[in-house]
Structure 1
């Protein structure tokens, strides 16, 4: 009779938790070779058979002969949903308990990897948060699939051991040679920007360019209306946002790792996520069953662009309101709840009407245009900056490059961060309405101007708070200490521009 213990990691959303795996064996009297079985305790009922079949087939096809004993493996704590990344840990624990691997060789290590039937160790999603959780728990040595070793090596303090086949892992553990850590100094977070686009490429549209700068400086959401280059503008917004810091860059990298796209992680450049209007709600918000983040989480700390926004399904448009308010996606189903981070800058754009033809050739009635725009009513109530985009701009000329605009944005962000240093907020857009009025008052002239707009029915009470936030951003951009009447007027102008354009 033998006993062995090791550890693996499971994920719930982006939260990683270590699990303990214990294995015990006892011989069956009169059992013929191959008759003994594998019993797994602590997994969901529907996951036990597939996991047991994969592990036994992998051992029989690529490791020492299956031991002629009953092997019982327990997973603690019991998992509501099984992650196949624990396959490798279950297999080595079973073999160690059977005496085919020295038990002391698997202690103090974390094993991650899904087993194929032929004994290959398959790559898995979410290696980055899993390895980070192991290191935080004090376990630095982690065995991962060879295809994931470069990704896992990004975690500071991790000793990453790549593995290709179960047989190789067993052989190295038996001979004490499983000590070839993966060294890849090129696996650090990339510092260069993957975006080869520049604001100077966008002709004309000074109002939209100014709106883009204001949104980048204050973290505000943007609505672009018209038949101009809205997509070009949205694609250039990440290039003028401040670079991600080490902590936020790692968080974004973990999201892309969990999504199965580690190679698309943007490094220190804020990400851009632009789902197509045919995308389902699961593609946009994420999946509970597959524990996979959606497009809104891939935009975390960056930009979410919805081109032709009214074309998206109503559940998608309405469902975006909660992430905009809370900065995260909360999904429930299958008896569990998962949360994915989703704090992003939203860019909506829409044509004047659903007609694909150019505006001068369009025959849509005003009622059709109104109903088309009305699909965005809930989202537009949360958007503080609006601007028209024109295809044929008579003032078209070369604009400022992204580097010049980014310098002004960074200076404004630094001013805001200094003002908000003793608060949990980092941008003007995050300040709650009560604190906005009590802790950060504007000048009496600016307050009176905005109050008059509210009394005239131009904005709601919630809209008034958004205008105050934009006024503070305009103040930061011009390097002042407190919003003046001109800042309030500028915020009101940014609020009304797209509405005026749509009415033409």
Structure 2
């Protein structure tokens, strides 16, 4: 036959739409044309495929070859279409049997020698294929490079057939018995508990440690303010270790995002992401972008932690781009030719000095900054962004006794046990963490007793809170009550929550 049809997948944000690879051989002057909105790396498949077929001792047809990647209006990028194009040419020229091709999907970049190189987005592609198989009732196996097998196999019940070379794939279709067929991948990795830095290394800072515990229990965003060297970065790096364990769905979502950049490793399965971009990062680096939209740091931190150290040193426009994702948990990147949605349900942990020199409020060092410079420095963080940070705590400098003494603090495991119990109470009560409660749910679940109401009235009159800040204080108070195992929010819970909104105002 002179026509072969195979199935593959493209990437459009987190989606992996099906692509039909049609290969047609016709008489005429030899030519090799790829149509269907291919980008440069897809067009270059002509040279890679030709060399791979010749080096694998196949005949490259001296005919007019047309490859159509349908649908025609979907942009196609990367080298993942090399393998289906090569197989299509072989099937159309009857060098391999083509009657079983419709039972598989293919993806893989070819080297000039015919070896299969890893591709981006294998997990997202496998998940989309598996979901489509369930909806249409027709299951397909996925043939892809050996290097991608571990991440693709995270999609349970999906049939993954890894291969190292083009010849192995061709032998699978030409084989008359099972000895030469590709074998379904089965992972022999033993799942181990993630290893994080331990909180027991931190000396002192009881208030900051308590704030970390509350933030982890309810999914709240946190800003730590204090002089340099007081342990803000050290505390932040230990925050993922006290978060509740990742569920299977959360781990799969996080792994799928990292798969889009080629940065996923099976050793990071169920490990909370911790992203700490430098303060010189651009807006595109933080939220994502590019001609073919890629996820940024906020999406790579999905279901994990985004740590912004030296918060006022970030470009203001970059920080303002965080406002919508902090509310919605996702980011939409729009370009002239396409639009892509990426998840961005991250927990923001930020740190900053109280003034330009860093020593305002220090017990032993004198601050050299004027009141105006302190106000300008703190004013680099806009009110709308600060309003979205649930908790703002001071991290004071350590006394000499605390610094020279032993770190006899609780371990991360002990704190994580309390955090997990509090998070479980929230899931059983409302099906979500307190940070995600809506207005009506706040009224139903977070209403304090009479003493709490009076404290809130006094705080609102004195601190001029916005409605958003008021609701966030209620949600933090509900989390503190959950940590204490209380059924209702009391005045003591509200009082502690109010203290977590006074970081910058106290300066």
TM-score (ref. length: structure 1) = 0.91
Residue 136 of structure 2 corresponds to which residue in structure 1?
Answer: none
State the partner residue of 1:412: 422
Q: Kindly indicate whether residue 276 of structure 2 is the aligned counterpart of residue 266 of structure 1.
A: no
Verify the 8 A CA contact 2:42 2:81 in the aligned structure 1. Answer: no
Q: 1:356 to 1:462 in 2, by over 3 A?
A: closer
Residue of structure 2 equivalent to 1:368 = 373
| Alpha carbons of structure 1 residues 404 and 46: separation in structure 2 relative to 1, 3 Å | closer
Aligned mates of 2:421, 2:401 — CA distance in 1: 28
Q: Which residue of 2 aligns with 1:108?
A: 103
State the shift of 1:48 in Å: 6.0
Choose 382-391 or 58-67, whichever is displaced more.
58-67
Taking the aligned partners of 2:57 and 2:375, their CA distance within structure 1 comes to 67
Aligned with 2:387 (options 381, 401, 407):
381
1:205 corresponds to: 205
What's the counterpart of residue 446 of structure 1? 452
Q: Given that residues 62 and 165 in structure 1 are in contact (C-alpha distance below 8 angstroms), is that contact kept between their aligned partners in structure 2?
A: no
- What is the aligned length? 489
* TM-superposed deviation, 1:184: 4.0
CA distance in 2, matches of 1:43, 1:91: 19
Measured in 2, the distance between the counterparts of 1:341 and 1:199 equals: 29
- Cα distance change on mapping 1:350 and 1:247 into 2, 3 Å: same
Q: Deviations over 1:346-403 (max 9, x none)?
A: 1110012233789625422222222111112232111111111123246735221111
* CA deviation vs aligned residue, 1:80-122 (integer Å, no higher than 9, x gap): 2434212211221122112122111322111111223443322
Task: Check conservation: 1:470, 1:491, Cα contact below 8 A.
Answer: yes
Structure 2 partner of 1:49: 43
1:139-188: CA deviation from partner (whole Å, max 9, x where unpaired): 44211112222222322223322223334433443335662225343347
1:471 partnered with 2:477: yes
Aligned pairs for 1:62-461 (under 5 A) are 62-78=56-72, 79-138=74-133, 139-175=139-175, 179-187=181-189, 190-195=191-196, 197-227=197-227, 228-263=230-265, 266-355=268-357, 360=365, 362-377=367-382, 378-393=384-399, 396=402, 398-421=408-431, 426-438=432-444, 440-461=446-467
What residue is the counterpart of 2:19 in the other structure? 19
Query: How many Å separate the matches in 1 of 2:189 and 2:56?
Result: 31
Given that 1:277 and 1:308 are in contact with CA atoms closer than 8 Å, whether structure 2 keeps it comes out as: yes
Question: How far has the Cα of 1:466 moved from its partner?
Answer: 0.7
In the superposition, relative to structure 1, how do residues 199 and 291 fare at CA in structure 2: closer, same or farther (>3 Å)?
Answer: same
Contact 1:275–1:295 (CA under 8 A) maintained in structure 2: yes
Is contact 2:9–2:19 with CA below 8 Å preserved after alignment? Answer: yes
How much does 1:12 deviate? Answer: 1.0
Q: Deviations over 1:432-483 (max 9, x none)?
A: 2343125643323322321232123442222111111111111111111111
Please state whether the residue corresponding to 1:144 is helix, strand or coil: strand
| Contact kept in structure 2, 1:240 and 1:409, CA below 8 Å | yes
For 1:318 and 1:420, the matched residues in 2 are separated by 31
How large is the Cα RMSD of the aligned pairs? 2.3
Q: CA-to-partner distance for each residue in 1:163-215, whole Å, 9 max, x for gaps?
A: 23334433443335662225343347x431131x1111111111101110110
CA contact (8 A) 1:172 1:178 kept: yes
CA distance in 2, matches of 1:311, 1:182: 51
Deviation at 1:263, TM superposition (A): 1.7
Q: CA 1:3–1:81 in structure 2 vs 1: closer, same or farther (change >3 Å)?
A: closer
- Cα distance change, pair 347–3 in 1 and its aligned pair in 2 (3 A): same
**Residue 72 of structure 1: CA displacement?**
2.1
Shift of 1:341: 0.8
Structure 1's 232 and 292: CA in aligned 2 closer, same or farther, altered over 3 A? same
Equivalent residue of 2:318, what SS? helix
* Distance in 2 of aligned mates of 1:477 and 1:298: 29
Structure 1 alignment gaps of length 5 or more:
29-34
Cα distance in 1 for residues equivalent to 2:153 and 2:435: 36
